[in-house]
Structure 1
Amino acid sequence: MTASRTSLIPLNFLSGASSWPEERRRHALLIGNARPEEAWGDVAAIPAPSPFRNRHATGCLCCSRDPVAMVLAQAFQDRVTGRRPFFHEVAVLTAPQEMSALRQQLENDVLVRARYRLVS
């Protein structure tokens, strides 16, 4: 059974402080560093890339997946099993110059596309 477009979790990209209303942030997962004045439903840090990235064979899981994609996979699993607060949408905080490359990597990640709908 294929998930409908509306059943996918919205995934947004932010390049700075969020202009989202507090009510929206309260039901969202932020991936990145939250500003002290912003209250999010949950926050997940972006891990440093693996030191082995691109050193193993083509298709190696630790070399080919972006750290944000790995966080998204774990966040989804934790949401389903109740180990993470339920979130309605996700915001990824990234530098403006990295946004296009990150978006492209996440668009090409089959597991991300199966669970999330890239919005902005």
Structure 2
Amino acid sequence: MQEQIVRIVLPRDQHLDERSAQRLAAHLQAPRSGSPIAVLMDVTDVASVSRAARTVFSNVSTVAAWALLGRTPVDRILAHFILGGDFKSGPASYFTSEPEAVEWLKENAHVH
């Protein structure tokens, strides 16, 4: 079985608004296998995320788990803001290590 982990890199130094989030989330609406997917979202150096964008991500029903990846204290604050949304699709957590994030996704989203 092919891994169902989708990597999203949010645009550096950009402000993520609802429209931008909807475009990104549209790619997650139709998983290739029909089963839930796991998302590794890199938030490194994103300028800001609106509440409306956070709501868009928290309502994507095809995602089994979210791992947010960052490197700086500002990334951590931004990720925790995003995680403050009510993720209806499954668990979500923040990481500074991509291998740890991928392992967590495999365990929590039950992907291979």
Structure with higher strand content: 2
TM-score (normalizing by structure 2): 0.33
Max radius of gyration: which structure? 1
TM-score (normalizing by structure 1): 0.32
